[in-house]
Structure 1
Amino acid sequence: MRALIVTAVAAEAESVTTGLTPHPDPVEAGPRTLPGGYLITRRDLPGLALDVLVAGVGPAAAAAGTATALALAPAASPYQVVVSAGIGGGFAPAAPLGSLVVADAIVAADLGAETPDGFLAVDALGFGRSVHLPPAELAARAAEATGGLLAPVLTVSTVTGTAARAAELAARHPLAGAEAMEGFGVAEAAAAHGLPVLEIRAVSNAVGPRDRDAWRIGDALAALAQAFRVLGPVLANWGERHDR
């Protein structure tokens, strides 16, 4: 089983690799630089080989970085699953600071058009799709193992910074657990390669008015590391039963 873990920034990648390190006999390699300047770090665990990629911030950068890594995978050792991982905003009260959200849907929340009657998603306009669904079994097992909330994760190009924007998103997506900036881009690249995708977010701030003093980035990064201490076996077991 081989998995690609995609993060936006180096601090998130470091948390992921820190979480993976305590497993028995990890083999470390990297980081190495892919074409385009993308940094990727290898971790080999029992039954599982993982590459942790730093792809950049936002859905476009995430899609480009993910697609580059997938295209460069050796034909003899292709990836079987892609995971978008990092920190993000949580929708209160369902996803408090320091908690985890595992996506049961990855939603492009601001890809579409504003109309006099409200927002229309891109698929409602007849152009492409606005939702990717992770494998239900994998998402459920990941949520159970990590203690995370199983809920939609919204991908936005502009982080929410006002109560009005938070309320508007919550009204359109009442079950949403978190928002971040990369998941849909990662999912688009994975889908182009015929691969399943998973997204996991550790909550660093509440979705709503921008208050940097209230952010808990360190706690969220620690929660992300803790999540990957248990996600390795989940991915390996799922891969064994879904080996293509």
Structure 2
Amino acid sequence: MLHDSQTTLLCVPTRFELDRLRVLAPEAVAPERWAGVAVIGFGPVAAAAAVSRLIAQRAPKHLILAGIAGTYGAASEAGSAITFGSVAMDGVGAGEGAAFVRPSTMGFPQWEGKLRDDESAVAAVFDRLDLESEGPELLTVAAAADGSAMLEARRARFPDAVAEDMEGFGVALAAAMGNVGVSIVRGFSNVAGNRDPKTWAIDDALGAVAEWLER
């Protein structure tokens, strides 16, 4: 889905990611290209709070969340970037490990109220939101997977997810509550669970993100 860049706010989670994008492709993240370029913070809570404030201050029509993520696929995917059609949230619920219970099972929505400009319906958001772009599902987590056991547990709970990030669901919920569309593009810097930064492809991943932004 195409949007007018002059009414689109570009959101990047960390200063590190934005600084690398400015080195790799300065024209893709130039402030004059967008309604604004903002660092929104690390993790779902900071990102949701920052985006809520930005929507109130700048009233964009659309948001793009851009940055790196860990793929649930093969190592060969590192360095590529994709957009997502939905985003889910893991970690909100009860228990941990195999005993973890999701909000949908508990019957407690994370949010129950109006979303977007639909005044006729009350939405119950448990742990999944649709996005404006086409693509697979992204899983938002509060802590990146530290190995194969954590990774496989998450894949068992969310079998449709192909990658994990730490901001997407918070941004998507804040945008939906603020009547703003949102797209998420993530470059795969590593296979989720691999915590050795020396093996990551951060610049390749962000370069692929920049190519998407330029298009």
More strand by share: 1
Residue of 186, 196, 214 corresponding to 2:171: 186
| Alignment TM-score, normalising by the size of structure 2 | 0.80
Shift of residue 213 of structure 1?
2.4
Residue of 25, 39, 43 corresponding to 2:32: 43
Shift of residue 12 of structure 1?
2.4
* Amino acid of the structure 1 residue aligned with 2:109: F
Shift of residue 186 of structure 1?
0.7
Shift of residue 212 of structure 1?
2.3
Shift of residue 112 of structure 1?
1.5
Say whether 1:21 aligns with 2:27: yes
The superposition leaves residues 129-162 of structure 1 with CA deviations (integer Å, 9 ceiling, x where unpaired) of: 2111012xxx13xxxxxxxxx2111111101011
Say whether 1:224 aligns with 2:209: yes
For residue 61 of structure 2, what is the aligned residue in structure 1? 80
Could you list the runs of 5+ residues in structure 2 that have no partner in the other structure? 111-125
Shift of residue 163 of structure 1?
0.6
The 2-side partners of 1:79 and 1:70 are apart by: 6
* Amino acid of the structure 1 residue aligned with 2:92: L
Q: Report the number of matched residues.
A: 193
Instruction: State the superposition RMSD in angstroms.
Output: 2.4
For residue 88 of structure 2, what is the aligned residue in structure 1? 107
* Amino acid of the structure 2 residue aligned with 1:85: A
Shift of residue 95 of structure 1?
7.2
Shift of residue 50 of structure 1?
3.1
For residue 70 of structure 2, what is the aligned residue in structure 1? 89
Could you list the runs of 5+ residues in structure 1 that have no partner in the other structure? 29-41, 141-149, 231-244
SS in structure 2 at match of 1:6:
strand
Shift of residue 16 of structure 1?
5.3
The 2-side partners of 1:87 and 1:117 are apart by: 28
Structure 1 residues 89 and 179, CA, compared in 2 at 3 Å: closer, same or farther? Answer: same
Percent identity at matched positions?
29
5 Å matches for 1:1-244?
A: 1=4, 2-14=7-19, 19=25, 21=27, 42-44=31-33, 49-73=34-58, 78-93=59-74, 96-114=77-95, 118-125=99-106, 126-128=108-110, 129-135=126-132, 139-140=133-134, 150-230=135-215
* Amino acid of the structure 1 residue aligned with 2:32: R
Kept in 1: contact 2:21–2:207 (CA 8 A): no
Kept in 2: contact 1:20–1:43 (CA 8 A): no
Kept in 2: contact 1:95–1:101 (CA 8 A): no
| Alignment TM-score, normalising by the size of structure 1 | 0.71
Kept in 2: contact 1:122–1:130 (CA 8 A): yes
- List structure 1 runs of 4+ shifted beyond 6 angstroms: none
Kept in 2: contact 1:101–1:178 (CA 8 A): no
